Structure 1
Amino acid sequence: MSDKRIMDIELLRGIAVLGVLFHHLQDSLFTGQVPLLQAIHALGQPWWGVDLFFAISGFVIARSLIPALQGCSTRQEYWEQTRNFWLRRAFRLLPSAWLWLALMLLACLFINRSGAFGTLAANLQATLAGVLQYANFRFADSFFHYEYGTSFVYWSLSLEEQFYLLFPLLIMVCRKHLVWALLALVAVQLLTLRTPILMVIRTDALALGVLLAMWSAQPSYRRWQPTFLRRPWAGIAVLVAIALLMSFLATDRFTFTSYRIGAIAVLSAVLVWLASYNGDYLMPPGLFKRVMTWIGSRSYGIYLIHIPAYCLVRELIFRLQAASLPSPAGHPIITLLLAFGLIVLLSELNYRFIEMPMRNRGAALVKRLSASRAATPSPGVTSC
C-alpha cells in the first residue's frame, strides 16, 4: 500500500481537531458561562473529533504496517519491522508530547497567578501519567472525583500508544484470523455499556480504521468508490450531515446512550472511507480546503497545544484585569482571537522545529538500523 499522504485525510484531521478545540472552549478558555456556547452545546457537541482521530489513525497506520509485517518471512524479520514501527512512532509523537508536558509543568510553577494551570500536585501526577502512557487510566479514575491536571487530553494519546504497542502482537497471534478478531473487538464494544474505564480504552474506531485499511487492499474497495459525491455540493452535504448527526449523538438529547460511542465510531469510519480515495469526495479543491488541510497537517501539535494556550490566555487576562489596565482582552471575541492566534503560532513552530525534525531523525535511525542489518553477514556466510 502507498505511504503517500492523503489530503482528504488531512481534511478530516483538521475537522477533528477543530471540533476538539471548540468542545474545550467552555471551562478551559471561558470559566464563566457563555450563553452562546451553552446554546450550541445543547444542540450538538463536537467531542466526537477524538473518535474521528482514532479511525484516521487506525487506517493510516495499518495501511503501511500490516503489509510490512505480513511480508516478513522469518520471526527475526518480523520483530525488526515491529521495532522499526515502534521507533518511528516514538520519534513522531514523544518529543512534542514530552515538550508540552514540561512546558505545562513550568507554567504551573512560574506563571500561574490565576490558577489557570491547576495545582502543582495534580500536574506532577498528570505529567508522570503522560510520560509513562497511563494517562487514560488516570483520566477515568479522576473523572468527577479529583483534579486531573492541565494535560488531560493526553488520555487519548496513551490509549493510541497502548493499542499500537499491542497491535503487532495481535497481527502475529491472529494471522489469517485478524479480520475476525478486529470485528469481535468492535462488536463487543458496540453492545457494551460504556463506564468511565471503558470510555478511555475504547478501541472500536481504531479497529474500524484498521479494517478499512485491510479492505483498501482488496479489488472490491475500488468497486465501491463513491463517485456520485463528485456532483456539486453532494460531498459537502454528506460531510455536514454526518458531522451534525455525530454532534447530536454526543449530546444528552440522544437517549440511547449505550450505543452512542459505537455509532460515532461507525460514522467516523464512514468519513475515513469516503476520504481514503483522495478523490475530493468530501470537499472540492479550493482555498477553504487548503486551509483545512493545513490545520490537519498541524493537528497533532494543535491538539497538544490548545489547552496550555487557553490557560495562558486566561492568565494574561487575569493579570491585565488585576492590574486594572484598560484592555478589551476580556471580551469573548478578543479572547478567542488571542487563543487561536497563539495556537496557530505555537503549532507552526512546533511543526517546523520539533515535530518534523524529530520525525526525520526517527526515519534516518530506522534506515541506518536496516542498512546495518543488511550489511551483517548471516551465520555461516564469510564476507569478502
Structure 2
Amino acid sequence: MSSKRIMDIEVLRAVAVLGVVFHHISGNLFSDPVPLLDSISVWVAPWWGVDLFFAISGFVIARSLIPALRSCSNRQEYWEQTRNFWLRRAFRLLPSAWLWLALVLLACVFLNRSGAFRPLDANLQATLAGVLQYANFRFADSFGHYDYGASFVYWSLALEEQFYLLFPLLILLFRKHLVWALLALVAAQIFTERSMALMVVRTDALALGVLLAMWSTHPGYQRWQPKFLRRPLAGISVLVVIGLLMSFLATARFNASFYNVGLIALLSALLVWIASFNRDYLMPIGVVKRCLVWIGSRSYGIYLIHIPVYFLLRELIFRLQGAGLPSPAGHPLMTILSAGVMIVLLSELNYRFIELPMRNRGAALVKRLGTSRTAVPSPGATSC
C-alpha cells in the first residue's frame, strides 16, 4: 500500500470534523436553547465523527507502522523505528494541542466576563489532564458530576495518544497473533453495554481501522473493490446514507442500548474501507471534493479550535450587548456563520505556522537521528 495521501480519507476527515463541530453548537456556541437545533438533534447527533476519526487513525497509522516494524531484523531496529514513530506523532500533535490548551487557559483568565470559558480551577485541571494525556479518564469522572473545563474535546486526543504509545508494544507482544487480538478487542466491545467509563476508552473503531490496514496488504484485498460506486452519485449517496444512519444511531433514543456504538464503529470502518482504495469511490474529483480535502487537511486544528471559538464568540457577544453595540445575538445563523469564519481563519493560521513547521521539524529530527546512527562506525571498523 502506498504511503501517499488518499483524497477520500481526507474527505472522511472533513465529514468527521464537520459532524463534531455541528454537534457541539448547542450548549457551547449557544447557551440558551435554539428550537431548530433542538429539533434537529432529536433525529441527528453527529458525535460519531470522533469514531470515524478513530477508524481513520487506526488505518493510516497501521498501514505504515506495521510493515516498518515487521521489517526490522533485530530488537534495536525495532525500538529505533518505534522511537521515530513516537517522535513524529509528538511533533505532529503536541505543539498545536499545547498551544490551544494555553490559549484557553489565558482566555479563562482575561476573557471570561461572561463565564463562557468556565471556572479557572476546572481549566487548570483540564490543562493538566490534556498535557499528561489522561483527559479521557477525567472526562468520564466529571461527566454529570462537575465542570470539566473548556478543553473537554481533549478526551479523544488522549485516547489516540494512548493508542499511539501502546500500539508498537502490542505489535511486539502479539506478533503473528495480532489479528486475533484485535478481533477479540472489537468483539468484546461490540457486545458490551457502554458505560461512560467504557465510552472514553472505546477502541473498537481504532482496532477495525488497524485490521483494514493489515488486510489491505493482501493481494486479495483489491478484488473486493466496490467498483459499482463509480456510477454517478453512487458514492456520494452511500456516504450520505451511512452518515445519516450513524447520526440516527447516535441520538438520545439509543442511549440505553449497548449496540449503537459498536454499529457506528463498524459503519465508520466501512467508510474507511471504501476510501482506502484511493479511486474516488466516495466522491468524484470536483470543487466540492477539493473544499472537503482542504477541510480534512486542517481537521486537527479545526477540532482543537472550534470550542475556543464558540466560547470566544459568546464572550464577544456578551461584551457587545453590555456596551449597547450591535451583535449577532438573536440571529443564530449569523452567529454560526461568524463562528465558521473564525474557525476557518484560525485553523489555516494554525496549519501554516504550527502544524506544518513542527511536522517538518519532527521529520528532520528523525532523519538526523538516522543519519547520526549510520555515521557511527561499527565495532572493528578502521578509520582512514
TM range (shorter): over 0.9
Q: 2:280 & 2:326 partners in 1: Cα distance?
A: 48
Q: 2:96 & 2:256 partners in 1: Cα distance?
A: 38
SS in 2 for 1:382: coil
Give the corresponding residue for 2:63: 63
Preserved CA contact (<8 Å) 1:317 1:330: no
Q: What is the correspondence of 1:354-365 to structure 2 with a 5 Å cutoff?
A: 354-365=354-365
One-letter amino acid of the structure 1 residue matched with residue 307 of structure 2: I
Preserved CA contact (<8 Å) 1:59 1:212: yes
Give the corresponding residue for 1:239: 239
Q: What is the correspondence of 1:122-201 to structure 2 with a 5 Å cutoff?
A: 122-201=122-201
Deviations 1:182-201 (A, max 9, x none): 11111111111111111000
Q: What is the correspondence of 1:245-264 to structure 2 with a 5 Å cutoff?
A: 245-254=245-254, 257-264=257-264
Deviations 1:28-58 (A, max 9, x none): 1011111111111101110000000000000
SS in 2 for 1:115: coil
Preserved CA contact (<8 Å) 2:57 2:209: yes
Name segments (4+ residues, structure 1) moved above 4 Å.
Answer: none
Give the corresponding residue for 1:106: 106
Preserved CA contact (<8 Å) 1:205 1:265: yes
Q: 1:270 & 1:188 partners in 2: Cα distance?
A: 19
Q: 2:381 & 2:67 partners in 1: Cα distance?
A: 29
Q: Which moved more, 1:98-107 or 1:236-245?
A: 236-245
Give the corresponding residue for 1:211: 211
Preserved CA contact (<8 Å) 2:317 2:328: no
Gaps of 5+ in 1: none
1:330 CA drift (Å): 4.1
Give the corresponding residue for 2:44: 44
Q: What is the correspondence of 1:64-83 to structure 2 with a 5 Å cutoff?
A: 64-83=64-83
Q: What is the correspondence of 1:288-327 to structure 2 with a 5 Å cutoff?
A: 288-327=288-327
Preserved CA contact (<8 Å) 2:123 2:148: yes
1:323 CA drift (Å): 1.0
Count matched residues.
384
1:254 CA drift (Å): 3.3
Q: 1:171 & 1:254 partners in 2: Cα distance?
A: 35
Q: 2:97 & 2:89 partners in 1: Cα distance?
A: 12
Q: Within the alignment, does 1:7 sit opposite 2:36 as a pair? A: no
Deviations 1:135-159 (A, max 9, x none): 0000000000000000000000000
Give the corresponding residue for 2:367: 367
Q: TM-score, with normalisation over the residues of structure 1?
A: 0.98
One-letter amino acid of the structure 2 residue matched with residue 315 of structure 1: E
Deviations 1:168-220 (A, max 9, x none): 00000111111111111111111111111110000000000000001110011
Preserved CA contact (<8 Å) 1:100 1:305: yes
One-letter amino acid of the structure 2 residue matched with residue 115 of structure 1: G
After superposition, the CA RMSD in angstroms is: 1.0
Identical-residue share of aligned pairs (%): 77
Q: 1:227 & 1:216 partners in 2: Cα distance?
A: 16
1:167 CA drift (Å): 0.5
One-letter amino acid of the structure 2 residue matched with residue 41 of structure 1: S
1:255 CA drift (Å): 7.0
Give the corresponding residue for 1:54: 54
Give the corresponding residue for 2:17: 17
